């Protein structure tokens, strides 16, 4: 940080990103230089005995040694200068760009010399008595050089920034023009995915996602390695601030408990650990055959085969959409849910933009018709997740002016259209007239289940929703309060997605910029420390020595007051185009999690029986949506989102109900 400027443009790399790639190249070049030197000592005298082309061989060998030596010295100098200074101290690394320019230009003589070696191999210009030397040594050398040149060109392609032109300075650009330019670039990138072009709502979704990404990252001058280093630094800062606040007895410690009887005493009967565990297993089943292969990598096929239907594409399937000829997706659902095919009333595995696979199941255990919606599993689902801007959502029963996640609104309406088109629910209740209606899903599927429930609740007022790891930016606050009567949301630990919204990403972006400014360590040290933190945790000595000043408490103005509900469009547009990154806001309305939220957490201690560690214990408490508005960089933030870990936590809590209830502080 900031980005490297070469050949009149910016690149997606910084002057302090070259330490580890440079060390790798030095190692390879030194090894090859030594091997080539040994080959020269052994065979150089033989070149005088060549019938023809001896001069060519000597020129090639000497030239290759010289180029390797110069390149190694250049890379060593680049690494030395790239390792200097802190992340934002670019003056200490001022020589990196000219040295790198020389190194890139050195590719030209390298390519010329390699063409010379290639001619040697492919033609008869050289005839030497020792053919083994000609064939083996030089072929290996030429191949190695072409690989190095190819890697260098590939590296340049990876760090190419289509917005990196320096023909006009950023200050001279009008914000609206720049915003439009960045949006068009992102739109062009998305349209490279040709298989998405004909998806319903593709253009609209791409445009909204492009606008969001443009508003978030335009003008930040961040490169990918800055984000990686910033995440490490944020983790260190968060641990330091937590310890400091605890020492001052300022940090509130929410009360967790393992006693479900006390916790659920005032809740309706359908809100229970047992029913939540039942429906998380159905939500996992919606991930179909891919989850079977994920759980049983070597034996997954054997588990799927008994549930497959051969040549199903030649048979009429009224209740299964877009499965393959052997109905592998349906086989995965049957394997994971342990249901018979007769109990799966309808299944759609059609996966387009904002169109998510789902199943409708006759759940005899709960006497309910269950609509189970799959979570994110494909690139299309990821685009649906990223289309996270707020949009108007006012079905009957919600307050006027309610807002929701734009991509999920489209997804819920597409899902409702399919249900109506095939009359799925009508046929299900004809077959089971006394059953109730339940919707469930994990991650993206949970968000869609909530919005779909709001759309159909006027027809089915007694429906229930079990939502697992719901994304944070789902509904405006007043709309979220309405869902507390019929939505049961469950989340685990430091789940990233439950804290992921446009608001939290904007705060994260601002915090990232400021924490990089506060760091006094070079980036290569930060990245190296990050691997150590992942394995062994953050040591106390790093809590102080990382920063320019000792105090990082409240140093992140990125956690500024967010936009209040009801910001006008004109003001919102001004904030989107704001040149000051720390003040730029894309979100016009805060979006929150839905429903009654049960938060599960691991106990900080483990019971030991006969010296052996027992099963991991969990605890729980009721939480508010406001508690999930900030991103936290934690070791388990991705693992806690996985549905199998949530299922394990619920199963453990059910088993713990036989034990004595435990109350502890913050877990």
Q: Pick the more confident residue, 503 or 77.
A: 77
For strand 596-602 and strand 608-609, is the pairing parallel, antiparallel, or unpaired?
unpaired
pLDDT, tens digit (0-9, with 9 covering 90-100), for 361-420 = 999 999 999 999 999 998 889 888 988 888 999 999 999 999 999 999 999 999 999 999
If asked whether residues 497 and 507 sit together in one domain, one would say no
The percentage of the chain sitting over the pLDDT mark of 90, rounded to a whole number, equals 44
Q: Is residue 72 part of a domain?
A: yes
Average pLDDT value over all residues in the chain: 82
Q: Is residue 490 part of a domain?
A: yes
If asked whether residues 345 and 375 sit together in one domain, one would say yes
Q: Is residue 192 part of a domain?
A: no
If asked whether residues 481 and 512 sit together in one domain, one would say no
Does residue 582 sit in helix, strand or coil?
Answer: helix
With a cut of 60, say whether residue 142 has pLDDT above it: yes
| pLDDT value of residue 19 | 95
Q: Is residue 251 part of a domain?
A: no
| pLDDT value of residue 44 | 72
If asked whether residues 234 and 347 sit together in one domain, one would say no
All residues at 6 or more sequence positions from 25 whose CB lies less than 8 Å from its CB, including other chains? 75, 148
| pLDDT value of residue 584 | 58
Structure tokens at 392: 């108007």
Total-model pTM: 0.84
Range of the domain at 530: 204-214+221-246+502-554+577-586
If asked whether residues 242 and 264 sit together in one domain, one would say no
| pLDDT value of residue 582 | 53
Residue 411: closest CA among 375, 460, 452: 452
- Residue 259's CB is within 10 A of a number of other CB atoms, namely 17
**Helix (H), strand (E) counts: the chain:** 24, 18
Q: Which of 100-109, 416-425, 629-638 has the highest mean pLDDT?
A: 416-425
Q: Distance between CA 491 and CA 451 in Å, rounded?
A: 18
Q: Is residue 560 part of a domain?
A: no
Q: Distance between CA 146 and CA 60 in Å, rounded?
A: 15
If asked whether residues 467 and 413 sit together in one domain, one would say yes
H helix intervals, 498-642: 502-518, 523-536, 542-545, 569-576
If asked whether residues 228 and 336 sit together in one domain, one would say no
Q: Pick the more confident residue, 621 or 661.
A: 621
| pLDDT value of residue 461 | 95
pLDDT, tens digit (0-9, with 9 covering 90-100), for 598-635 = 999 998 755 554 455 556 789 999 999 999 988 888 88
Among all chains, which residue has been given the structure tokens 């760091």?
A: 519
If asked whether residues 12 and 74 sit together in one domain, one would say yes
If asked whether residues 70 and 60 sit together in one domain, one would say yes
If asked whether residues 233 and 289 sit together in one domain, one would say no
Among all chains, which residue has been given the structure tokens 């009508």?
A: 426
Q: How confident is the model at residue 98 (pLDDT cuts 50, 70, 90)?
A: very high
Residue 284 belongs to domain with CATH number: 3.40.50.1820
With a cut of 70, say whether residue 178 has pLDDT above it: no
If asked whether residues 26 and 110 sit together in one domain, one would say yes
Q: Pick the more confident residue, 290 or 187.
A: 290
**How many domains does the chain contain in total?**
3
Structure tokens at 418: 């399919």
Q: Is residue 568 part of a domain?
A: no
- What is the torsional sign of CA 572, 453, 440, 448? negative
Q: Is residue 569 part of a domain?
A: no
Q: How confident is the model at residue 578 (pLDDT cuts 50, 70, 90)?
A: low
**Region of poorest pLDDT, from 39-53, 292-306, 363-377:** 39-53
Q: At what angle do helices 96-105 and 54-82 cross, to 10 degrees?
A: 160
Q: Is residue 233 part of a domain?
A: yes
If asked whether residues 394 and 529 sit together in one domain, one would say no
| pLDDT value of residue 145 | 82
Q: Distance between CA 418 and CA 350 in Å, rounded?
A: 11
């Amino acid at each position: 940080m900031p980005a490297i400027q070469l050949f009149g443009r910016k690149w997606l790399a910084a002057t302090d990103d070259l330490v580890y790639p440079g060390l790798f190249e030095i190692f390879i070049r030194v090894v090859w230089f030594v091997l080539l030197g040994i080959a020269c000592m052994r065979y150089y005298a033989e070149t005088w005995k060549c019938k023809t082309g001896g001069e060519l061989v000597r020129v090639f060998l000497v030239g290759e040694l010289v180029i390797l030596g110069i390149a190694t010295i250049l890379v060593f100098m680049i690494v030395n200068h790239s390792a200097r200074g802190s992340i934002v101290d670019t003056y200490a690394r001022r020589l990196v760009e000219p040295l790198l320019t020389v190194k890139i230009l050195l590719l030209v003589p390298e390519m010329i010399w390699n063409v010379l070696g290639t001619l040697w191999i492919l033609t008869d210009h050289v005839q030497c008595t020792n053919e083994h030397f000609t064939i083996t040594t030089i072929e290996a050398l030429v191949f190695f050089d072409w690989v190095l040149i190819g890697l260098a060109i590939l590296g340049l392609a990876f760090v190419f920034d289509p917005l990196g032109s320096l023909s006009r300075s950023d200050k001279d650009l009008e914000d609206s023009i720049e915003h439009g330019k960045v949006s068009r670039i992102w739109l062009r990138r998305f349209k490279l995915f040709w298989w998405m072009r004909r998806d319903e709502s593709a253009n609209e979704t791409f445009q909204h996602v492009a606008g969001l990404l443009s508003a978030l990252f335009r003008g930040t001058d961040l490169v990918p390695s800055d984000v990686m280093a910033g995440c490490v630094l944020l983790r260190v800062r968060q641990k330091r601030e937590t310890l400091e606040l605890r020492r001052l007895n300022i940090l509130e410690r929410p009360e967790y408990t393992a006693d479900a009887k006390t916790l659920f005493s005032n809740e309706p009967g359908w809100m229970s650990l047992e029913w939540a565990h039942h429906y998380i297993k159905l939500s996992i089943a919606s991930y179909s055959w891919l989850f079977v292969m994920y759980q049983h990598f070597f034996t997954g096929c054997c588990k799927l085969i008994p549930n497959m239907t051969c040549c199903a594409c030649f048979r009429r399937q009224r209740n299964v959409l877009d499965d393959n000829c052997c109905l592998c997706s349906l086989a995965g659902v049957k394997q994971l849910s342990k249901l018979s095919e007769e109990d799966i009333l309808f299944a759609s595995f059609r996966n387009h933009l904002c169109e998510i696979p789902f199943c409708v199941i006759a759940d005899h255990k709960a006497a309910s018709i269950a609509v189970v919606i799959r979570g994110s599993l494909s690139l299309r689902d990821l685009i649906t997740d990223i289309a996270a801007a707020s949009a108007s959502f006012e079905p009957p029963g919600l307050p006027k002016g309610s807002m929701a996640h734009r991509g999920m609104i489209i997804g819920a309406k597409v899902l409702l259209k399919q249900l109506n088109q095939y009359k799925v629910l009508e046929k299900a209740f004809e077959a089971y007239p006394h059953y109730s209606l339940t919707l469930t899903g994990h991650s993206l599927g949970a968000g869609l289940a909530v919005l779909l429930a709001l759309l159909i609740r006027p027809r089915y007022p007694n429906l229930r929703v079990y939502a697992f790891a719901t994304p944070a930016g789902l509904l405006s606050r007043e709309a979220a309060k309405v869902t507390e009567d019929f939505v049961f949301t469950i989340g685990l630990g430091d789940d990233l997605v439950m804290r992921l919204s446009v608001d939290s990403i904007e705060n994260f972006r601002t915090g990232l910029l400021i924490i990089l400014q506060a760091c006094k360590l070079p980036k290569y040290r930060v990245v190296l420390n990050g691997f150590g933190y992942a394995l062994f945790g953050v040591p106390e000595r790093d809590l102080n020595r990382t920063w320019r000043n000792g105090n990082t408490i409240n140093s992140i103005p990125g956690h500024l007051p967010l936009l209040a509900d009801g910001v006008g469009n004109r003001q919102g547009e001004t904030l989107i185009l704001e040149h000051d990154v720390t003040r730029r806001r894309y979100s016009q309305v805060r979006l929150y999690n839905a429903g009654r939220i049960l938060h599960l957490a691991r106990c900080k201690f483990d019971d030991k029986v006969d010296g052996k560690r027992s099963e991991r214990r969990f605890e729980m408490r009721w939480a508010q949506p406001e508690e999930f508005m900030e991103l936290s960089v934690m070791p388990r933030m991705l693992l806690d989102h996985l549905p199998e870990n949530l299922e394990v936590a619920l199963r453990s809590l059910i088993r713990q109900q036989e034990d004595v209830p435990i109350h502890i502080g913050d877990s």
